[in-house]
Amino acid sequence: GLVARYDQKPALKLTEELDGYLTKRGVKVCIEDTLSGIVTTNDPFVPLSEMKTDFIITIGGDGTILRAAINLPKPEPPILAINMGVRGFLTEVEPQFTFKAVEGILKGDFRIEKSTKMAVSAGKEKLPDALNDVVISTGEPSKILYAEICKNGNPILKCQADGLIIGTQTGSTGYSLSAGGPVLDQEVDAFVLTPICSLTVFHSLVFPADSTLTFKVLKPEQMLVLIDGNYRKQVSTEELIVTVTKSKNVTSFIRFETSFYDRLRNRLLFKGTE
């Protein structure tokens, strides 16, 4: 399955080239339906939610990966991520090595890296799993979020902040890091809770991934839940509670030689904006 940024010409061009290359190699290809009318192909366009394939190739940045991971049917097929973004921390391959990487997949010369996801619910409603993070806010920049945080049903603290970020190990390198949170080592199976501009003395907290975390919004009488920057849920009910647990689903990445710390050094810690 091919998933690409529809607003970037180089990504669309590479999608068409990959489509032709895979077809010549005898691989059946389907393409995300949002690219219909944008890329030229004889292969079928399929919604992400129906893309049941052996593997997915994303052509874009981290946002393209997150969009795919939140919509793909479960269990998710492994993802080979081609970097056409600015940082592309989660991606594996630069565009010039695309076809070499595909050959590696066809030969079975790769490894699978599994990333923990979070199961999220708002009240009694189940929301999509999060690969990166869940952000809870009022949805209005001028209003502060008053919330009570519990672990396994036990109150931990009450806070006042612009919002709260709950990140996975994968998500610890994203919004949470920008808000002052720590980077979690890849072998640490945990969630990190980071406040956004907290008025109370409250720094990041790290919880075991088998914890059940609940967030009860005390004020105002509304909240916005944002999952992986793609899914938004505005909630205005009597009980404003978000529950986060470890999901039974995982996102699998196709990896070759790069390690977590290779990506951290080369793409995040020392790479400037371009």
274 inside domain = no
State phi, psi for 186 to the nearest 5 degrees.
-60, -25
- Arithmetic mean of pLDDT, 218-229: 93
Domain span at residue 77? 2-110+256-269
> What string of DSSP letters covers 17-72?
HHHHHHHHTT----EEGGGTTTS--SSPEE-GGG---S-EEEEE-HHHHHHHHHHS
Clarify whether residues 138 and 171 are in a common domain. Answer: yes
Q: What is the CATH number of the domain that holds 214?
A: 2.60.200.30
Name the domain count of the chain.
2
pLDDT tens figures, 102-138: 999 999 999 999 999 999 999 889 999 999 999 999 9
Our answer to whether residue 62 is catalytic in this structure is yes
Clarify whether residues 60 and 18 are in a common domain. Answer: yes
Clarify whether residues 105 and 122 are in a common domain. Answer: no
Which of 3-7, 56-60, 255-259 is predicted with the least confidence, judged by mean pLDDT?
A: 255-259
List 62, 129, 133, 228, catalytic entry: 62
Pairing verdict, β 31-32 and 45-46: parallel
Nearest partner of 164 among 217, 207, 90, judged by Cα: 217
Clarify whether residues 142 and 194 are in a common domain. Answer: yes
Clarify whether residues 125 and 106 are in a common domain. Answer: no
pLDDT tens figures, 75-84: 899 999 999 9
Note the pLDDT of residue 250.
96
